[in-house]
Chain A
Amino acid sequence: MKAITDALRTRAGAVAAIVLAAVLVLAVTGPFLAPYDALKNSADILQPPSAQHWFGTDYLGRDVLSRVLAGAPASVFTAFEAVAIGLVIGVVPGITSVYLGRAYEWITLRIMDGLIALPFLIFAIAVAALLGNAVHQAMVAVGILLAPSFYRITRAAALSHAGAQYVTAAQLFGASTWRVLRTHVWPKIVPTLVVTTANATASALLIVSSLTFLGIGVVPPEPTWGGIVAGDLGYLAQRPYGPVFPSLFIMATVGALNLLADAIRDAGGDRGRARTLMRGARRVRLT
């Protein structure tokens, strides 16, 4: 916990937190702030940015600012959904794999290895399309694919603390496994977990925007940040700057999440970044 409050006191951490808070506020209030109806066509098509239309209008004359604002909830909260699913199905087996015996450990390890080998985006597309073209199915798939990184991180953290002397001491005093987990292991895992969650949310946002860009799990007139870019694609000759506005929102959110993750990692004094990456690669290397 201290690492997080420390991180917010650094300049990078504060900037990231402010940007994230702004994005969250936008995601909640965006549809109400929109100056125009995001779905209403008008005769002023492909207008450049002006006082009336800050971001200009698209090929159907819809106000781009309104579309970006109205698309904020669908673009941001779906990513949270995927990360929440990944957290649950990654962290629980990650911690328990250290305590519930060799067979369980072996099975969870193999399953997570198998998940890593699945190609991310294509698998999400296949799941979303074959199990009904809906964004929630896609998010379940993304969550499942995010799970191995949570599994790996929590398992590594749990492993390094499970053998510590104070844990053995607690066990000798008669503490139950549950108590050891709750009071000794869990607090040590939390900072790492927050960093991983921030990074995972950043990648989930990128995947959600990619999926909506491809039109997976969206009903066409409904605006999403990825979908707005896809709509601009045919009109690059008239409005080459068109994709910039929605892209900036995606990039700012992703950048803030990455910045926050770095700030927390630095504040936690966890110099193990290269190590974690090596560890990750080891899993990819399938051993």
Chain B
Amino acid sequence: MTALDLRDRAAPPSAAPASSRPGPAALLLRAAAALSRGLFIAVPVMLVSTFITFMLGGLTEQDPASVVLGDSATPADVQRMREAFGLDRPLLLRYVTWLWNALHGDLGASWFTKIPVAQSIAERLPVSLSVAAGALLIAVVLGGVFGTLAAVRQGGLLDRTVTVVTSVLATVPGFVAAVALITVFALIVPVLPAGGWAPPSAGLGTWASFLLLPSLALSLDAAADVARQLRTGLAGTLHENYIVGARMRGLPGRRVVLVHALRNGAGPAVAVLGMHVPRLIGGAVITETVFALPGIGELTKSAALSGDVPVVQGALLVTIAVVLVSSAIVNVLLVKLRPAARREL
């Protein structure tokens, strides 16, 4: 932390000469390198989690041959169908083939509709990603603002309110938050649609109006956690000697809080945000159900309930990949924010 502070003092961003800092291209390159390093570490994790996902299909008692063919199928028909689906081969071989094909963008086809899994996922991923991104944005803004304000006004009314509200929000199940938001903003004060989806091509305003409530419902949990962690992290940092030093040197309070303290105190909050990313993508199934969004969670749920194994496996694989990529990004962000965090990696 001392090293960081020294560097900050030596080259304040406002007076940074262009020559002493790497250009934007080099910065981008370095970020990309760090990101790919993070993704490389994720390979064994990816193997384990995809294997577990694939095993689901191996363990299920759903036999597509008899499910698809119905009760009147003869054993010979079933056998032929099993061969057509490749179910007669050993499980491990099927896993390797599946993973290899998935790397080439082929996730197989639905057992029932024959629609390629990759295609149905590609149709739905934008919905899930935009809701997740919206939720992430709301969580960062709400959590950031209230966390910072609570830390600055430690022990004040705002601080206590934030503490109480975040503790209560942590106990609210996702579907209750969604239902409450619908009740308030679609039934009592009908300003926003209660559910459904419009693509951005239907007009950005319409798109945003369909996006706002689901994103808000999804973000509350994360926002509460970020606010709480930021408050704790910042509150500790604001008592550090270098903050007192910065104040004594006459730096404006806003700069001390937003530059000096935030950079060191935001670590836990960013880490918590990283832990919430999988939930924003994988946990959105509740939000998607309540708001009738055609997202990937809803796809997985309906496929699982009808026993459509390839769709479930493909959707889980894509979700895991998105989760791993976003954790790698959070990783890079954490190191950028606080270079000392690299030692903890």
Q: How many residues of B contact A (CB 8 A)?
A: 73
Give per-residue flags for A227-267: 1 if the beta carbon is below 8 A from chain B beta carbons, else 0: 00110110011001001000100111011001100000000
A280 and B282 alpha carbons, distance in the complex (Å):
18
Chain A neighbourhood of B233, CB < 8 A: 274
Chain B neighbourhood of A202, CB < 8 A: 171
B172 contacts A274, C-beta separation under 8 Å:
no
B45 contacts A110, C-beta separation under 8 Å:
yes
In the assembled complex, how far is the CB of residue B275 from the closest CB belonging to chain A, in whole angstroms? 5
A281 and B174 alpha carbons, distance in the complex (Å):
22
A251 and B171 alpha carbons, distance in the complex (Å):
5
Residue A214 lies at the interface, judged by CB distance under 8 Å to chain B: yes
A243 and B183 alpha carbons, distance in the complex (Å):
10
A247 and B180 alpha carbons, distance in the complex (Å):
10
In the assembled complex, how far is the CB of residue B309 from the closest CB belonging to chain A, in whole angstroms? 7
In the complex, which residue of chain B has the Cβ closest to the Cβ of A259? B167
Give per-residue flags for A30-63: 1 if the beta carbon is below 8 A from chain B beta carbons, else 0: 0000000000000000000000000000000000
A201 and B219 alpha carbons, distance in the complex (Å):
22
Partner of A126, one of B51, B304, B327: B304
Chain B neighbourhood of A229, CB < 8 A: 175-176, 179
Q: Specify which of B45, B56, B180, B307 lies most central, judged by the most chain A CB atoms within 10 Å of its CB.
A: B45
Chain A residues touching B, majority SS: helix
B52 contacts A118, C-beta separation under 8 Å:
yes
Residue A170 lies at the interface, judged by CB distance under 8 Å to chain B: no
Chain B neighbourhood of A278, CB < 8 A: 267-268, 271, 344
Chain B residues touching A, majority SS: helix
In the complex, which residue of chain A has the Cβ closest to the Cβ of B315? A122
B286 contacts A113, C-beta separation under 8 Å:
no
Interface residues of B in 151-175 (CB under 8 A from A): 167-168, 170-175
Contact stretch, chosen from B57-65, B90-98, B198-206: B57-65
Q: Contacts A110-B44, A130-B62; is A118 near B53 (CB within 8 Å)?
A: yes
Partner of A274, one of B47, B60, B232, B316: B232
A243 and B172 alpha carbons, distance in the complex (Å):
12
- Listed in ascending order, the chain A residues whose CB lies under 8 Å from chain B are 110-111, 113-123, 125-133, 202, 206, 209-210, 213-214, 226, 229-230, 232-233, 236-237, 240, 243, 247, 250-252, 254-255, 258-259, 273-274, 277-278, 280-282, 284-287
Interface pairs A-B: 8 shortest CB-CB: A119-B282, A114-B48, A281-B271, A129-B304, A254-B171, A130-B60, A255-B171, A114-B49
| Given A117-B327, A213-B175, 16 other A-B residues pairs in contact with their CB atoms under 8 A | A116-B278, A117-B45, A117-B49, A120-B278, A120-B282, A121-B283, A122-B315, A129-B304, A202-B171, A258-B170, A259-B167, A273-B232, A274-B232, A277-B272, A281-B271, A284-B327
